[in-house]
Structure 1
């Protein structure tokens, strides 16, 4: 696995010889960070803008947030709301096909598109809906789609059966898939998501020229099984900036961290139950619908709410490890690599795609988050063994660069993909 990562890293001193795009249009559900995908979208806006490439940030929300990474970007906002914060039946209808999003994006393309404009779609399943794919059909050969998850092919987005608590091996949208009650909510929600997936398939064919960038090599066979041609797939791991530039001396600390959305798929409830059994301290950094409920059940846990990147160093310096207990096949887990680069060991779900490589290097522990006893034992071992924690911390800090790209390397690689798309479009 580590050899694969070395292959995607640009060679030292390599030069970008292909022409850069005239403009990059970054398309994403939201303009305020509440997850890794949006963080990457905003990060790309800043990196591209700072390099002199004009950027338009097309967002499904109101675009009114004071996000500093959009300082050099033109912001175009649909003015919509997250489907979970929209009343039924409007949420169900807009989630299937957001007419306003399609019209706004199609109008922008008609008025502003040039042969040198690149379109980069990140998130679409929360506000924008499959409708944006229809608007993007005329520019498909200059379209890059980031696969931060599996929603491009899988109805529930995780290639995971939340009912049986096991990875799913079915072909997405096959008869067996449609009959499977795998959604974490209920079967009716699975059918709604399947209808959304069928609309996405109907309005856009990935063989038309768009390129899909997966954030982990392990995603490729699953995306291909879901109908995306192998020739249209590539891998580009997300850029990583450590929370702290110097190694955190984790062996001196006591606090276990959770960083991310407080939703069931992220497994924060599984962590808190196991942590109580292990009698270890937990700090939860993030927000989401489970926050109030979990704060009531676990008064001993510190809930900080969502914090910016500038807040993170002060919140992680006293940490012993990061825990990423996702219920599903977590494709990348940006926070895990931010922790590793800061010298924090990572306790990761065994279903996560990074589990094997972390264990291979000795920088983390993988376990089944559904197995409460085993999960609790893993936390207890790490909490009580300073020698083991120090070794994992050293290995994490020393090997972090082997797992991912720096922001500058990532931006260089991204622009190379853009240039390839431009050349292919005119071929």
Structure 2
């Protein structure tokens, strides 16, 4: 099949792009012809260097790096970006069988969908976040630091000061969500959920759209090596952006209460606050290889206590693949890979439940058993790029055939 993948970046700047890049490589290795449309100019991951992958830059810019008034209008409807997308599609040597969107909110707008529909192309979207339904994209109240309970675009939603970047962003994003809802009205759209929790939650939020739902795990690119020995570790480890919605502050507070050091790999707005807390070490960002070299040596467990309904953080699956126990938030989709007390713990994103789980890591025999189970259970059904590509191929063929019919 001829597949077009559309993402903002061609490097793993975040989970969505990482999945997009690894999906492209897996599909190419499975024999599909892949065109990777890169929304914003920048470098490309070495994984895209494959004879079955053609990378086409769209030369867009990040909407929020433009002057405020231009950014606001572009976020609602960017005709110029849509025209560039149309020209790129029309310039392809072969007609695509399908277009797969991974991320489009940073450099495009709802204007991309009429471009695709006008060319009678089937469209599938992987739901890495909640932007298809929720204006701020994470279904989380940054003002109250808790999950949202409001219906998107309801009166309560419109009034809520929930956006992490302020009122202007909320206003633009509300407008974009309303335009998106009208743009997709009556049009079939296939969506891929990366966790069962996402499927359950998003099904209700997206009732305004004519959606066909599919469920496929994200790919995890981890070579199988000897499992780590977490009993040798000296700290609990957090990997990712240091923000409150991802629970970085919970890790530091719970680790201090449990009497364990906390190691943070990443950066973000909570860095100074965390650095002032006892027992905290912050390494900053590292390359993926360096991250796991460090984690395999230092971690007694990986901790991912997200306060928002995170769809499926990749670091959780990568840690399990390395034979490391995981303490995951019960709000995150990744918790469904955790068997509580077997390969880690699934806990509420609150200090005391998290601290109680961390206290159980003080026993080397317990930690070693959790690590062995993490490795055994993961590799019994690994989330490899090949498995991901095979699942995508089956969904693509069904969509193509139904579209043709």
Which residue in the other structure is 1:392 paired with? 370
Spell out, residue by residue over 1:342-385, the C-alpha distance to the aligned partner (whole angstroms, 9 max, x if none). Answer: 1111111222133355144722223333x334433432332x12
Is this contact kept in 2: 1:224–1:230, CA < 8 A? no
Secondary structure (helix, strand or coil) at the match of 2:191 reads strand
Q: Shift of the alpha carbon at 1:257? A: 2.0
2: distance between equivalents of 1:80 and 1:399? 43
Kindly indicate whether residue 399 of structure 2 is the aligned counterpart of residue 421 of structure 1.
Answer: yes
77, 80, 98: which is aligned to 1:100? 80
1: distance between equivalents of 2:111 and 2:373? 45
Structure 2 unaligned segments of length 5 or more: list them: none
1: distance between equivalents of 2:138 and 2:172? 16
2: distance between equivalents of 1:108 and 1:139? 12
Spell out, residue by residue over 1:226-269, the C-alpha distance to the aligned partner (whole angstroms, 9 max, x if none). Answer: 33557611111112233662221111211322222334432223
Distance 1:424 1:116, change over 3 A: farther
2: distance between equivalents of 1:78 and 1:314? 35
388, 392, 404: which is aligned to 1:410? 388
Distance 1:129 1:276, change over 3 A: farther
Secondary structure (helix, strand or coil) at the match of 1:258 reads strand
Distance 1:76 1:271, change over 3 A: same
Distance 1:85 1:243, change over 3 A: farther
Secondary structure (helix, strand or coil) at the match of 1:332 reads coil
Kindly indicate whether residue 212 of structure 2 is the aligned counterpart of residue 212 of structure 1.
Answer: no
Structure-to-structure mapping, 1:277-292, within 5 angstroms: 277-287=257-267, 289-290=268-269
Is this contact kept in 1: 2:263–2:280, CA < 8 A? no
Is this contact kept in 2: 1:345–1:364, CA < 8 A? yes
1: distance between equivalents of 2:223 and 2:255? 23
Which TM-score applies when normalising by structure 2?
0.88
Q: Shift of the alpha carbon at 1:41? A: 0.3
Spell out, residue by residue over 1:379-398, the C-alpha distance to the aligned partner (whole angstroms, 9 max, x if none). Answer: 2332x122221221122112
More displaced stretch, 113-122 vs 389-398:
113-122
2: distance between equivalents of 1:411 and 1:99? 33
Secondary structure (helix, strand or coil) at the match of 1:232 reads strand
Which residue in the other structure is 1:193 paired with? 173
Distance 1:263 1:88, change over 3 A: farther
Is this contact kept in 2: 1:250–1:393, CA < 8 A? yes
Is this contact kept in 1: 2:158–2:174, CA < 8 A? yes
2: distance between equivalents of 1:136 and 1:361? 47
Is this contact kept in 1: 2:110–2:176, CA < 8 A? yes
Q: Shift of the alpha carbon at 1:294? A: 5.1
Kindly indicate whether residue 167 of structure 2 is the aligned counterpart of residue 183 of structure 1.
Answer: no
Which residue in the other structure is 2:354 paired with? 375
Spell out, residue by residue over 1:14-71, the C-alpha distance to the aligned partner (whole angstroms, 9 max, x if none). Answer: xxxxxxx1x21110111221221111100011122233322211112113x1410111
Structure-to-structure mapping, 1:139-288, within 5 angstroms: 139=119, 141-205=121-185, 207-228=186-207, 232-242=212-222, 245-287=225-267
